[in-house]
Structure 1
Amino acid sequence: MPDENKVTIKVNDNGSLRVTGQVDLVDAEGNLFEHKDSFSLCRCGASGNKPFCDGTHKSVGFESAPRANQA
């Protein structure tokens, strides 16, 4: 059974950071961004809706597919 209090951040290949779970997303001044319990954050820097992903990474050719080190 998944822990409902746990936040998961998935690094999508060549795309966004997918955030799932209850988390506060705040700007540099501490103001809250409105969002759902699951949302995507921009990694490519080209989104027109920062800090959220709008899919622009596909048209700008963003490539990044890091993997966690496995011990």
Structure 2
Amino acid sequence: MGDVVIKTRENGPLLVTGDFTLIDQHGQKFDLGGQPNVALCRCGGSRKRPFCDGSHRYNGFQAGELANQPPTESAPPA
């Protein structure tokens, strides 16, 4: 099994790539249709939840999380 990568999209969905299984609260598997990439809604507006239908473009959803970056060393004061 290859690595699964979950990528945040600015003001958009979570893009999941890799070999994974998505299961609902009753233990039933979602049919992913063999797609190599799946976009999961995080705006809450999709009519196809948990999948993205592009609603984030029209409902004002904003998100731009960035991974924590290590602090950069600053030059000592002159």
Name the TM-score, length of structure 2 as normaliser.
0.83
Distance in 2 of aligned mates of 1:37 and 1:29: 24
Give the structure 2 partner of residue 66 of structure 1: 65
Q: For 2:30, which of 30, 33, 40 is the aligned residue?
A: 33
Which contiguous aligned blocks of 4+ residues in structure 1 show a shift greater than 3 angstroms?
Answer: none
Number of matched residues? Answer: 68
SS in structure 2 at match of 1:60 = coil
Q: Is structure 2 residue 9 aligned with structure 1 residue 5?
A: no
Greater shift, 49-58 or 29-38, is seen at 29-38
Structure 2, gaps ≥5 residues long: 71-78
Amino acid at match of 1:34: D
- Aligned-pair distance for 1:37? 2.5
Amino acid at match of 1:9: I
Greater Rg over alpha carbons, structure: 2
Identity %: 44
